[in-house]
Amino acid sequence: MKKLFLTLSTDNMTDKKEWGGKRPNQTGRPPNRPGVRRVGFHCMVDPATRDLIKQYGLAKKLSVGQVVDELADKLPKANSQE
């Protein structure tokens, strides 16, 4: 019977990987207001409303969230906690 020996190289296993973690020159989205983090928001809207928000965002080069922030700034402030 022949015995086969397999040799494993550990050189590749100890190399530090280049993936994962923060990438250079990518600091993330700047806060809308200093000191305030962004939060997730989900809602169900009419498809026409969604299309209008997307078109407005494309025209102004804004994300959907930034469009919603802009629209919210135009609303009267009721019961403001600031």
- pLDDT per residue over 1-35, tens digit each? 666 666 655 555 556 666 666 667 766 666 667 77
Q: Residue 70: is its pLDDT beyond 80? A: yes
pLDDT of residue 57: 95
Share of the chain above pLDDT 90, in %: 34
Distance of CA 38 to the CA centre of its chain: 10
Can you give the C-alpha Rg of the chain in angstroms? 25
Distance of CA 79 to the CA centre of its chain: 30
Q: Residue 41: is its pLDDT beyond 70? A: yes
Structure tokens at 24: 């250079």
pTM attached to this predicted model: 0.54
